[in-house]
């Protein structure tokens, strides 16, 4: 007797995430899901990365927040196409929200999309959006114990930026302890120590991101 093979049954969110990914692939847009605690510097990372892109690469941004359009205004002030999504209290972006956001962007013009998730080091990791890369932004003032306390988020990262690194000494931040915690849950994601304020470390992160974007653009 043959046992039936149970196929992976996608839930509604994952199904729409797959459709988002297909749409992004067709539009040749490399999408980065940016996740972090409140105030770690997601918007600053996006703006500082966008202004370092080669001129032929056009960025777009989707801003996720429970309320307000402060971040979208900051992005729009730089002349970058942006959509603000207000979750109305929801603790994460989901795939239907991203789909609605994509419908508002000039996709034909874009090469790179930064999706700023709701500030939350837990829930966003559990909801696929359809992005190509999961970027986790940690920051020095939050303390070096975060990978131990929020393992799910750090396990989900394809890359980790440790922001506000200019304040490492002010906060007695132990980078080796942070790294050990990160490696316990995520052996491979590269760690970039950066400061959006001084620009330190941004060149290495930029080079790595462009390599990924390049590989994506070539394979399409």
Residue 149 is a binding residue for its own copies (CB under 8 A): yes
Q: Which of residues 165-184 bind its own copies (CB under 8 A)?
A: 167, 170
Q: Which of residues 98-137 bind its own copies (CB under 8 A)?
A: 118-123
How far apart, in Å, are the Cα atoms of 34 and each of 1, 38, 93, 102? 48, 12, 11, 16
What are the tokens at 60? 């777009």
Nearest residue (CB) to its own copies, 23 versus 167: 167
* Nearest alpha-carbon partner for 93 in 105, 84, 80: 84
Q: Are 33 and 129 in contact (CB under 8 A)?
A: yes
Q: Which of residues 190-219 bind its own copies (CB under 8 A)?
A: none
Residue 39 is a binding residue for its own copies (CB under 8 A): yes
The distance of closest approach from Cβ of residue 64 to its own copies in the complex, given in angstroms and rounded to an integer, is 10
Task: Tell me which of 26, 28, 51, 68 binds its own copies, using CB under 8 A.
Answer: 68
Residue 96 is a binding residue for its own copies (CB under 8 A): no
Angle between helix 12-26 and 95-102 (nearest 10)? 30
Residue 42 is a binding residue for its own copies (CB under 8 A): no
The distance of closest approach from Cβ of residue 77 to its own copies in the complex, given in angstroms and rounded to an integer, is 15
The distance of closest approach from Cβ of residue 139 to its own copies in the complex, given in angstroms and rounded to an integer, is 7
Nearest residue (CB) to its own copies, 121 versus 193: 121
| Residue whose structure tokens are 């120590």 | 193
How far apart, in Å, are the Cα atoms of 106 and each of 101, 103, 134, 147? 11, 8, 23, 37
Residue 76 is a binding residue for its own copies (CB under 8 A): no
Q: For residue 152, what are the contacts with CB-CB under 8 A and spacing of at least 6?
A: 122, 125, 126
CA within 13 Å, CB half, 96: 5
Which residues sit at the interface with its own copies, rule CB under 8 A?
Answer: 37-39, 65-68, 70, 89, 91, 118-123, 139, 141-143, 145-146, 148-152, 164, 167, 170
């Amino acid at each position: 007797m043959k046992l039936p093979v149970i196929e992976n049954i996608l839930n509604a969110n994952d199904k729409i995430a797959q459709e988002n990914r297909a749409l992004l692939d067709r539009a040749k847009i490399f999408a980065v899901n940016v996740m972090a605690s409140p105030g770690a510097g997601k918007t600053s990372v996006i703006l500082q990365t966008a202004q370092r892109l080669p001129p032929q690469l056009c960025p777009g941004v989707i801003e996720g927040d429970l309320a307000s359009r402060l971040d979208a205004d900051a992005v729009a002030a730089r002349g970058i196409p942006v959509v603000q999504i207000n979750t109305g209290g929801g603790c994460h972006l989901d795939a239907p929200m991203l789909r609605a956001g994509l419908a508002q962007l000039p996709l034909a013009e874009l090469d790179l999309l930064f999706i700023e998730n709701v500030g939350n080091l837990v829930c966003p990791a559990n909801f696929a959006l359809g992005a190509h890369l999961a970027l986790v932004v940690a920051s020095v003032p939050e303390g070096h114990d975060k990978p131990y306390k929020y393992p799910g988020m750090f396990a989900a990262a394809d890359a980790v930026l440790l922001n506000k690194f200019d304040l490492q000494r002010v906060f007695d931040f132990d980078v080796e302890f942070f790294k050990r915690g990160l490696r316990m849950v995520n052996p491979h994601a590269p760690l970039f120590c950066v400061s959006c304020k001084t620009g330190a470390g941004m060149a290495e992160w930029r080079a790595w991101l462009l390599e990924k974007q390049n590989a994506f653009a070539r394979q399409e």
